């Protein structure tokens, strides 16, 4: 039986920011998925980045660094 991966929301923002952060996380070995922005009558919903619940702790450090510096400062 396959183990079910519980996705957890790690970041919400502009599509370019999400794409950049996704590349940082994947470079660190953390699998991600992106829910692209949705345009509708009431405006635009930002892009959303998800990681597995089990990877959230590791991802949180990179996400926090990205929020503070805009890039990964430890590279």
Pick the CATH number of 7-69 from 1.10.10.10, 1.10.260.40, 3.30.70.1530, 3.20.20.120: 3.30.70.1530
**Cβ distance 28 to 56 under 8 Å?**
no
Domain borders along the chain are: 7-69
How far apart (Å, rounded) are the C-alpha atoms in residues 33 and 9? 10
In order along its 75 residues, the chain shows pLDDT tens digits of 677 778 999 999 989 999 999 999 999 999 999 998 888 777 788 999 999 999 999 999 999 999 998 755 454
């Amino acid at each position: 039986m396959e183990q079910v991966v519980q996705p957890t929301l790690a970041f919400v923002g502009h599509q370019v920011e999400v794409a950049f952060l996704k590349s940082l996380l994947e470079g660190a070995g953390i699998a991600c998925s992106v829910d692209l922005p949705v345009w509708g009558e009431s405006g635009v919903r930002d892009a959303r980045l998800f990681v597995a619940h089990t990877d959230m702790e590791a991802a949180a450090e990179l996400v926090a660094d990205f929020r503070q510096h805009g890039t990964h400062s430890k590279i």
